Amino acid sequence: MPDNAAPLPDFTRWPSFPFEGDLRVKALAAPVAEEPRRSGEDATDCVACNTPDDAYIWVSERWRVRAMDRPTGLPVVLILECRSHLDLGDLPNLLAAELGVMTVRLERAIRSLDGVARVHVNRWGDGSAHMHIWFLARPHGRLQLRGTFLSLWDDILPVIPEQQWRENLALVAAWLADFGGTANAEPPHIAWQSPSTISDPSTAGVPETDGEPEASREPGVAGDTGAGEPAVVAETDATEVSGTDKTAGTVFVSRAARGGENGTPSDREAAAEDQAGTQALAETQDLKEADPPQSDPPQSDRPQSDPPQSDRPQSGVAEGPAPAAAMPSPDGETATRR
Ligand SMILES: [Zn+2]
């Protein structure tokens, strides 16, 4: 250890620490005089602002939720964004209040998934300027994944089956849609199992390139170290995202064949609880309806906030192609990565 004799911190001995062997602390680089500009400091070249709704698993008037562009090691990793080009500290009270509701709702939705014990909610913001909150599902029983290093484990663990991943996305999207907005993610088609080529009538035979990184859709972010890091959709992808997605849409049934809103029984139960538990919220300040004091009945306020979606009520799922596949990832954050 030439120039670095710093003792290893205690966390390197925690069961959750992903690495072992000889380690040493990196030398700390000198601080820069000026912070580098983050991706999307200007709304014009902001990835989030330039990414169409169909690249998200769920959207509403003021909020959108996206997933990674492919399955990762955790059951699900999602990102909550506000539509407005704002950073966390710049949110007006209305959005700040809704952020609380959305955070709780999304956490609940993810936690309701089978096999998910906990949901880690993080905000780093070193990579992209547009506010985005990370939600990482920690697998049930995986005590070694508890805490700080979950985001690292996400890149270390074997990737979960794509079908399961899509199911998870669809369930979360449907859950959110129950409160308003539109779900774009649909569950995988039953015929999904079929080998390479899916000649499903409803999907017009699409190549099974789902799990593909589809480099085109996620050029990665400036200064991105890449390394398993969720890439960010570049300006040019905006269109490609949806395009490619549709291709990859194989996994999704074009006709919302979402057998049962909330898939599993446990989900339903959870959903029921959630309904009850968040009913108040929904009524008072449901995302669709900004103002808490609003006396509108829970139902009447829906129309307002999400006027365009007529399918919202029943299906909760977007009718169309249902891409939901190419969820660009937000940050180009290198160091903190998220
Ligand atoms: Zn933006």
Question: Could you list which residues have their CB under 5 Å from ion ligand 1?
Answer: 46, 48-49, 85, 130
pLDDT of residue 74: 98
Q: Tell me, yes or no, whether 118 lies in a domain.
A: yes
Q: Tell me, yes or no, whether 278 lies in a domain.
A: yes
Contact between 247 and 285 under an 8 Å Cβ cutoff? The reply is no
pLDDT of residue 189: 65
What is the number of structural domains in the chain?
Answer: 1
Q: Tell me, yes or no, whether 329 lies in a domain.
A: no
- When computed from its CA atoms, the radius of gyration of the chain, rounded to whole angstroms, is 20
Going by C-beta distance under 8 Å and a sequence separation of 6 or more, which residues neighbour residue 193? 163
Q: Tell me, yes or no, whether 22 lies in a domain.
A: no
Q: Tell me, yes or no, whether 212 lies in a domain.
A: yes
Q: 154: CA distance to ligand 1 center in Å? A: 26
Q: 85: CA distance to ligand 1 center in Å? A: 4
- Calpha distance 338→333 (Å, rounded): 6
Q: Tell me, yes or no, whether 214 lies in a domain.
A: yes
Token reading at 245: 């997605």
Element of type H or E holding 245: helix 237-248
Q: Tell me, yes or no, whether 138 lies in a domain.
A: yes
pLDDT of residue 98: 98
Q: Tell me, yes or no, whether 310 lies in a domain.
A: no
Domain enclosing residue 243, as ranges:
36-305
Q: 91: CA distance to ligand 1 center in Å? A: 13
pLDDT of residue 61: 97
pLDDT of residue 242: 33
The enclosing domain of 70 has a CATH number of 3.30.428.10
- Calpha distance 115→78 (Å, rounded): 16
What is the mean pLDDT for each group of 10 consecutive residues in the chain (338 residues)? Answer: 72 96 94 96 95 97 97 98 98 98 98 97 97 98 97 97 96 97 82 45 39 34 34 35 32 31 40 44 42 37 36 34 39 40
Alpha helices per DSSP H over 120-248: 150-156, 162-177, 237-248
Q: 79: CA distance to ligand 1 center in Å? A: 14
pTM of the model: 0.61
Which residue has 């909610």 as its token pair? 121
